[in-house]
Chain A
């Protein structure tokens, strides 16, 4: 592999063939059995030492985290559909309250990575998209380029932050931090695409 191809692989250019398939991992979030305990949110914050994101009442929902952001790398979204007054009252068909643990999607063609002018955002060997905080200069191009509105700049710091896919833990051979405290089995850390798991969910 030549120097140019190595460099291209390091910055995740689409033009080159990145041979990371065997190592690629993925989150699989089954929101059908999520109980909205937010233990994954807490675990993510604890491990990654993410600062507080405000202690506020949203006033809209019991979900006071509101959204993913610079200091919320994992967010258990509460999807609430209120009952229509007069029709069925508070019956189960009328009210739905669902939970979904949202996170950076680590896209295969990542908008943030393609927009980053400093090369701070890189593709790791696990297939994830990683922001190097020591390189980021806080230009904010990635923020507007994210198709899911995940990455965000920290106002007091200026740099952009998002989920690291627990790069440090995966590097050390551990699973993602969000896995252990969940009271019911929900996250799969199986190798993506290559495993039987990928076939099972398809």
Chain B
């Protein structure tokens, strides 16, 4: 990269998204300019990072539904 920059390709950069949830890739690219123009997203995201949040909210919703049902049948003036 240093030699490329010395040759005047100052906008050349290495695309290697180690900081994202993808955690690194085995096909790296040296591109000039914005990597997004090459269909290389800034922050690629593995969908499984949403698993915990998704299951937590599903469990919360289920709990609330069960609680509501129980409350409805447990009301004293039926």
- Chain A contacts to B: CB under 8 angstroms: 24-32, 77, 79, 81, 96, 98, 100, 102-111, 114-115, 127-128, 144-145, 147-149, 165, 192, 201-202
**Cα-based distance from A191 to B14 in the complex (angstroms):** 17
**Residues in B whose Cβ lies below 8 Å from that of A110:** 22, 46
* Cross-chain contact B27 with A29 (CB below 8 angstroms): yes
**Residues in A whose Cβ lies below 8 Å from that of B29:** 28-29, 31, 100, 102
Instruction: Give the total number of A-B pairs whose CB atoms are below 8 A apart.
Output: 106
- Which 5 residue pairs are nearest across A and B when measured between Cβ atoms? A106-B26, A147-B44, A105-B25, A27-B27, A108-B23
- Closest chain A CB from B9 CB (angstroms): 6
- Which A residue sits closest to B37, measured CB to CB? A79
Q: Is B1 positioned at the interface, with any CB of A under 8 Å from its CB?
A: yes
Interface of chain B residues 24 through 41 with chain A (CB within 8 A): 24-33, 37-41
Q: Is B75 positioned at the interface, with any CB of A under 8 Å from its CB?
A: no
**Cα-based distance from A31 to B32 in the complex (angstroms):** 8
